[in-house]
């Protein structure tokens, strides 16, 4: 059995606005895992920093 941890990150506001939102990434990764019979372990969300 394969297990994957998902790391979901948006580095800029522009990415979030142009279809690479965290929600979109999560849905795509989850769909991939389901289609390929990969169990999802941790889901890590990280937003962009203003540094």
Strand partners, 23: none
The whole-number pLDDT of residue 16 equals 64
Distance, in Å, from the CA atom of 38 to the CA atom of 24, rounded to the nearest integer, reads 19
What predicted TM-score, i.e. pTM, was given to this entire model?
0.78
| Contact of 26 with 8, CB cutoff 8 Å | yes
Kind and range of the H or E run holding 46: strand 38-46
pLDDT attached to residue 48: 67
Tokens representing residue 29 in the block: 């990764």
Two structure tokens written together for 34: 């389901």
Q: Above 90 in pLDDT, residue 14?
A: no
Show the DSSP H helices in 1-51 as ranges: 13-17, 22-35
């Amino acid at each position: 059995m394969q297990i994957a941890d998902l790391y979901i990150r948006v580095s800029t506001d522009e990415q979030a606005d142009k279809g690479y939102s965290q929600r979109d990434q999560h849905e795509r990764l989850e769909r991939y895992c389901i289609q390929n019979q990969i169990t999802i372990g941790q889901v890590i969300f990280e937003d962009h920093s203003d540094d």
